[in-house]
Homo-oligomer: A and B are copies of this chain.
Amino acid sequence: MVRIVRAVRACAAAAALAVAVSATGPAAAYEPIVEKKTFTMDSYTTINGETIRELKVGWEAYGTLNQARDNVILIAHFFSGTSHAAGRYSQDGARGYWDSIIGSGKPIDTDKYYVISVDSLVNLNTGSEHVVTTGPASTNPETGEPYGMDFPIVEIGDFVRVQKRLLANLGIDRLHAVMGASMGALQAYDWASRYPDAVDRVIPVIGSGFADPFLIGWLDVWAQPIRLDPNWNGGDYYGGERPKAGLAAALKTVTLHAQSWPWAQQAFGRTWANEDADPAKSFDNSYAVEATLDKVAKDRAATADANHFLYLVKANQLFVAGSKDTPEAGLKAIDAPTLMLQAEGDLVFFPGLADQTQRMIESDGTPVERARIPGDRGHLNGVLNIQSQGDKIRAFLDRKVGE
């Protein structure tokens, strides 16, 4: 008895799950090819007081830096993301995840702004040809071997401090705005709290000003399959078999957590993965939603690193804006006008946490605006449906501070 309830659109759903979002820009707009660059520091001392030698991160930019070097917008990326926020690396390459709002004539207008984006420390995608990062998979110059779990623990604030050094290196000492989604929002809050004199506007999207304990617990749940995979081996796997099954399971959890029930219902219904394989008949038979999530996770795991995942989890758990003692102190330190964008149905960052974040920023009079990104994609609305807030973002960026 075949219990197919709804027509399946599993392929479409799988494509939509992919991080790189294809968006069509104005056909006539000049569109330069994006060049990935590398920033190197001989030595970097973490917030925790440990030293990382030969630190490298990748970065890219869209638009032109003006003479006054005051037209800079920094875009920070999400947990599983990279610096590829807009444009393409080649004529047939995938467009950056926020290409719908960044470009010539778009809300973050590259005819006007110099938009820069940086691969984070311990970036997840060590196997991607375009990502440059430093983390446990990197070679420790002192031993000639990968660091593994000997790599220093880093915080969101360390990502930000490295970005600050990169900008200083480019002669940039202040930001017209800093913006990011999810973990990128955490970096945006951190920038504004850590360097209040260097940030003119903040646009945190689908994030909050500190890691609340429910998120801390979920981050631990995301990570636990990696530690259960015997190939993880305490993080020492670079010479042998990688913990791909554990990493794929971790990425599956993240993928599902970032989605929503309406998405699953529309994309899959209760359709089977294989119409000849009734899930009631065998543990080997699954539903389409399971098979698609498995495939997406396996594909993502192929270019990701398990230890980097654990370091990202730690960095997110530790997050309080500006590395201050309390969320209240961290957010009160923000002086820049803030545009908070939350997503409908977000299961990672809840509206109540945005309320708390807003109150803490406003506690000394800093103005906060808020808007809700609509859609059926849960947390991912913040990436996939950001263009719905285009006018609001454009107006916020255009407004003179103090107006």
Contacts and interface: CB of A to CB of B under 8 A. Distances in A.
B281 A350 contact: no
Nearest to A287: B216
A214 B261 contact: yes
Interface in A232-273: 245-246, 249, 252-253, 256, 259-265, 267-270
Interface string A219-240: 0110011001110000000000
A343 interface: no
A213 B264 contact: yes
Interface in A137-196: 149, 153, 155
B224 A249 contact: yes
A326 interface: yes
Nearest to A226: B228
A3 B263 CA distance: 39
Nearest to A210: B270
Interface residues on A, range: 35 or more
A317 interface: yes
Given A1-B325, A280-B48, A290 B217 contact: yes
Interface string A278-290: 0111110011111
Given A48-B281, A287-B216, A290-B216, A245 B228 contact: yes
A264 B149 CA distance: 29
A320 B3 contact: yes
A314 interface: yes
Contacts of A261: 212-215, 350, 352-353
A229 B267 CA distance: 31
Contact of A221 (B155, B256, B287): B256
Contact of A283 (B153, B155, B281): B153
A181 B167 CA distance: 55
Contacts of A269: 213
A102 interface: no
B153 A281 contact: yes
Contact of A214 (B264, B325, B352): B264
Nearest to A289: B213
A211 interface: yes
Contacts of A320: 3, 270
Contact of A5 (B270, B288, B326, B350): B326
A228 B216 contact: no
A327 interface: yes
A213 B280 contact: no
A327 B270 CA distance: 10
Contacts of A252: 220-221, 224
B225 A249 contact: yes
A100 to B, nearest CB: 25
A327 B228 contact: no
A218 interface: yes
A85 interface: no
Nearest to A314: B283
B217 A293 contact: yes
A47 B280 CA distance: 10
Interface string A9-51: 0000000000000000000000000000000000000011000
6 contacts: A5-B325, A47-B280, A220-B252, A221-B252, A225-B225, A279-B318
Shortest Cβ-Cβ A-B pairs, 5 listed: A214-B261, A214-B264, A213-B264, A213-B289, A228-B228
